[in-house]
Structure 1
Amino acid sequence: MDITSAVRTSGSGGSVDTKLERNKRNVLAFYEVAINDKDFAAASRLIGDRYVQHNPSIADGAEGLERRIEFMKKAFPELRAEIKNIFAEGDFVIGHVHGVRVPGERGTAIVDIFRLDENGRLIEHWDVMQDLPEEAANENGIF
């Protein structure tokens, strides 16, 4: 998904909407540089001074993010995240994402929750992941 097309503009032009749209753009940029490009230097410019991580396999702070990106570069160099939906409310942005570690695999459905500071930098992260099944009990699709 193209980053610019993923941000849905509300059109009201108010300062709250502007903040929400900025926050969504920053999270989309983070997905692109941290996950798809695996570029820690670019990703580090999008996180705050303190980055709290709730995923138990990733350490807090910029150092934890850097180690995770280095791991992804080595273990899953072709890993891609495709943002299916993105929502913003208050200081939070939620991404509904299709992650594929290796091309050709079904991948994983991911819900990421980010909290951003007043400057639009990411300062906290939670995630929930579900492998895409081979068969489903319904025809609704996971996305």
Structure 2
Amino acid sequence: MSTTSPAQNKALVLQAFDTLFNQRDYATAERFWSAQYIQHSAHIEPGRDGLFKLIRSIPDGLRYEHGLILAEGDYVIVHGRFSGHGRPAAWIAADVLRIENGQLAEHWDVLQDEATQTESKSGLPMFGDRFPA
């Protein structure tokens, strides 16, 4: 059973993501990710070490922005954009995280390249209220 509120879990996820992806502060990030972290992403090697290894391999300039964030019980879903990772298009992600004992314990994601205005059949941006520059 959860010992934290959905609001606390949302704040934890946002602080953890900012610490790791934007600040690249690995020592502090270890406090947010459980040592027994379970990684379901097909793009990331197992565990906390796999995630940290991936972030270390990305050139400086990685940036994470969050959008919509929802929480229920021990689960948080955050819609965000990863840019500056050295690929032609930013990634739009829906990250699902399970919180346990005040740490990120498990993760699933859905990723896709961000569409430009020309590529968007709906005519709407995938993230935020405008297309990437």
Residue in 1 that maps onto 2:106: 124
> Percent identity between the aligned chains?
35
Residue in 2 that maps onto 1:71: 57
CA contact (8 A) 1:87 1:95 kept: yes
**Partner of 2:126: helix, strand, or coil?**
coil
Q: TM-score, normalised by structure 1?
A: 0.76
* CA RMSD, 1 decimal: 2.0
Residue ranges of structure 2 left out of the alignment (5+ in a row): 128-133
Pairs aligned (count): 122
Q: TM-score, normalised by structure 2?
A: 0.81
CA contact (8 A) 1:40 1:69 kept: no
Residue in 2 that maps onto 1:5: none
Show structure 1 runs of 4+ deviating over 6 A.
none
**Closer, same or farther: CA 62–102 of 1 in aligned 2, 3 Å:** closer
Residue in 2 that maps onto 1:54: 40
CA contact (8 A) 2:115 2:126 kept: no
Structure 1 letter corresponding to 2:94: V
Structure with greater proportional helix content: 1
Residue ranges of structure 1 left out of the alignment (5+ in a row): 1-15
CA contact (8 A) 2:115 2:125 kept: no
CA contact (8 A) 1:39 1:69 kept: no
Residue in 2 that maps onto 1:112: 95
Distance in 1, Cα, partners of 2:120 & 2:48: 38
